[in-house]
Amino acid sequence: MTEACIFDLDGVIVDTAKYHFKAWQRLADLLEIPFTEEDNEKMKGISRVASLDRLIALGEKTYSNKDKEKFCLTKNVWYLEYVSDINQSEVLPGIIDFIAQLKKKSIKIALGSASKNARKILSLVELTEAFDIIVDGNDVINSKPDPEVFLKGAEALSSSPSRTIVFEDSAKGIDAAKAGGFRTVGIGQDIHLGHADIVVEDLRQMTIEDLDKQLYI
């Protein structure tokens, strides 16, 4: 019943959240703004610019657009330093086998990520060729919870949102997928993702047949 699957990158394909946290925390320290892992959790699924605005709001400070551009660039340079040595060993459990299942059944696969570094990360973990389509932060105007990134992915795959599953680890990402009319699988915990159609810890032992039975009742 499923025509296509669209995967978020961070926290679904590979856990880069810890590297984002290190980079944002380093910037927060530079700007003398208190920043916690809980604050970082709230940045999941949204763009770099939106994340910076949230960080600045924590410090109740004001900066010019020029300064903000500099901060975004600096944070990204640090982030890329941190991820430069990642490899396929950091791909999250069950992902490679699940993608292999989809390919065997000729189900189309896309990446739908807010990250402007998505292609670089996929290359580092040797998964670029796994995706028929990649839509990332370079291809969209609106960040999640706007559904643009997923709608563009579905359009490129010629799939109907109602027959396409979105895999997300963030509340904003689930919101975006639901706004676009997609079926949703949350990767993580109910406390953050309880509004997804299904929530699982990871995709180990998961089959597309299992998802079809649960999502198309």
Catalytic residues: 8, 10
Are the C-beta atoms of residues 13 and 7 closer than 8 Å to each other? yes
State yes or no: cis peptide before 145, omega within 30 of 0. Answer: yes
Query: What kind and span of H or E run contains 120?
Result: helix 118-124
SS3 readout for 89-148: HHECCCHHHHHHHHHHCCCEEEEECCCCCHHHHHHHCCCHHHCCEEECCCCCCCCCCCCH
- Closest to 5 (Cα-Cα) out of 150, 170, 142: 150
Cα–Cα distance, 192 to 188 (Å, whole number): 8
Q: What number of residues does the chain have?
A: 217
